[in-house]
A and B are shown apart, each in its own frame.
Chain A
C-alpha cells in the first residue's frame, strides 16, 4: 500500500487532469460561442460584452489560469442566463441529487447483498438462476425506459406513487428504483462471484472442520472477505449513479443537478453545464478514493503494510 501522501498527490494530479478536461470542453464549442449564446443577429455591443463575460477576448492559457484561480476560491463562474453564480445554483440543487443517489444506494445494498449471498449459497439451483436473470435483465434495461414503465405500472395502473416531482411522500421510490436497478444488478453479480471465488480457500475448510454452522461460516469468514472487492466496485459505481441521475432526474422531473444540467444544455448556459460536470466528476473521484481507503482500513493484509 502506498503512503497516504503519495495517494493524496495522486488524487490531486487526477483532479487537476479532470478539471483541465472540463475546462477544455468549452473550447470544443464549434464556431463563435457568442453566436451560439446570443444568436447571429445580436448587436455588436452585446457581442463584445458577452465576449468579455465569457473571457473570450483573452488567450487560452490565460483563461485556463483564471479558471484555476477561480476554482481554488470555489468560484465556478456565473450563469449566462440566470444572473447567479454557478456555485449557488449547484448548491441549491445538490441536496435533491444526493437524496436520490443515497436512496438508490440503500436500495442497492438491500437487494444486492441478500440476493448475491443467496445465489452463492445455492449455486446452480433456482435462487442462483433467479439472481443471475435479475442481474442480466437489470443491466440491460435502460433507465430512461424503465422509468416510464414503472410510472405506467405503479402510478397509472395501481395509483400507489406520484408520477413525478419530489413534493409528495413516496415520490422518491420510483426514481430511486429506476436509478438503482442496474447498480443492484451489477453488485448482485459481484457479491455472488466474489463469494464463490473464496469458496475454495483453506480458511473456510478449517472453519467448517472445527464445526461452525454454515451461517457462522458465511457471516464470520466468507462475507468479510468477499465484500472487499465489492466495496471497490461500489465506489466505482457511485459515479455511474451520479451520471445516471442525470437521465433519471429528467424522466421524473426531479429537481436535482441532472435536470439543472440538461436545462442548461438546452438553454446553452455553458458555465452551468461545466460546473455540474466538474462537481459530479470530483464527487466520483473522491468516492473512489474513499472506497480505496476503506478497503485499506478493513483489510488487515493491506492495513498492516501501510
Chain B
C-alpha cells in the first residue's frame, strides 16, 4: 500500500503545483524548440518551445480533476440506480436491469468515444462521456447486493417500524453495500485516467493549447525520432498513476475481502 500511496500523493501534489501562477505551460518560445532535458528545462521543451515539465504538471491537474469527478458522478448515479432497482424490485427492477444490460453490451471505451464525438470536446463533455459508461458498473454491483440484503431481518424490521423507503435505503442498505463500491471506485480512477488520456489522444478530450497527458502523447508521437522525451514524460506519468490506482484497488479488495470480480 506504501508505493501506490506515494505515487498517488505525488499525483495530487503535481496537480496542485499545476495551477501555480508562475508556470507557463502555454508559453511558446520558438528559439527553444525540442530542447532535451537540462537544468534550465528539467524535462526539456516541445515542438513550440513550451516547457514539458510545466505542461506535465498542468496535465496532472486535468487528469486528477476528470478522474475524480467522473468516478464520483458515476458512483452517485450508479448507486442510486442500483439501490432503486434492488430495493423496489418488480417492474422497476426489470426495466433497470434491461437498461444495465444494454449499457453493458457496449464496450465502455467505444461508448465514451462515440459520446465525445457527438457532444464535442472539452473537459465537461469528457466527464459526461466517461460517466455515461461509468455508472453501469456501480449500478450492477449495488443492485445484486441489495437483492440479497433486501430480506434481511434488520430491513424487514425497519419496514415494520414504518420507516420511509428513502431512509431504509440510506441507513440500512447503503452502508452495507459500500465495500465493493470502494474497490470499484479505485479501479474506476485508473480507468478514467486512461480513458481521459485516450480521448485527448484522439483529439476528442482536452483541446489544445491546454495541456493533457493524452494530448501531449498525441503531439509528441509526430516527433518521436527527434524528441522522444515528449512521449516518454507524459507516458511514464500516466503509467505510474494507473499502476498505482490498480495496486491500490487490489490492496483494498484484499483488505475489504471483496471476492470474485471479472476484472483484475
Contact pick for B242, options A140, A247, A250, CB 8 Å:
A140
B123 to chain A, nearest CB (A): 16
B120 contacts A by Cβ under 8 Å: yes
Q: Are B224 and A14 in contact (CB under 8 A)?
A: no
Contact pick for B110, options A141, A148, A246, CB 8 Å:
A246
Q: Are B102 and A25 in contact (CB under 8 A)?
A: no
Q: Are A281 and B107 in contact (CB under 8 A)?
A: yes
Contact pick for B221, options A14, A30, A142, A251, CB 8 Å:
A251
Complex contacts, B203 vs chain A, CB 8 Å: 266
Residue ID in chain A nearest B109 by CB atoms: A243
Complex contacts, B202 vs chain A, CB 8 Å: 246-247, 250, 262, 265
A135-B264, A142-B197 are contacts. A239–B115 as well, Cβ < 8 Å?
Answer: no
A18-B102, A239-B107, A244-B109 are contacts. A28–B115 as well, Cβ < 8 Å?
Answer: yes
The DSSP consensus for interface residues of chain A is helix
> Which one of B31-39, B80-88, B231-239 is at the A interface?
B231-239
Complex contacts, B8 vs chain A, CB 8 Å: none
Contact pick for B224, options A140, A151, A273, A288, CB 8 Å:
A151
Contact pick for A30, options B120, B190, B242, B263, CB 8 Å:
B120
Complex contacts, A266 vs chain B, CB 8 Å: 203
A216 contacts B by Cβ under 8 Å: no
- Contact indicator per residue, chain A 48-92, by CB within 8 Å of chain B (1) or not (0): 000000000000000000000000000000000000000000000
Q: Are A144 and B204 in contact (CB under 8 A)?
A: no
A26-B118, A144-B198, A277-B114 are contacts. A14–B102 as well, Cβ < 8 Å?
Answer: yes
Q: What would 26 A/B residue contacts be, using CB atoms closer than 8 Å?
A: A13-B98, A14-B102, A21-B103, A25-B115, A140-B190, A140-B239, A140-B242, A140-B243, A141-B239, A141-B242, A142-B239, A144-B197, A152-B231, A186-B264, A189-B264, A239-B106, A240-B109, A242-B107, A243-B109, A243-B110, A246-B109, A247-B202, A265-B113, A265-B204, A270-B118, A281-B106
Shortest 5 CB-CB contacts between residues of A and residues of B: A17-B102, A243-B107, A239-B107, A145-B235, A243-B110
Question: Which residues of B are at the interface with A, using a C-beta cutoff of 8 A?
Answer: 98-99, 101-103, 105-111, 113-115, 117-120, 190, 194, 197-198, 201-204, 214, 217-218, 220-221, 224-225, 228, 231, 235, 238-239, 242-243, 246-247, 250, 262-264
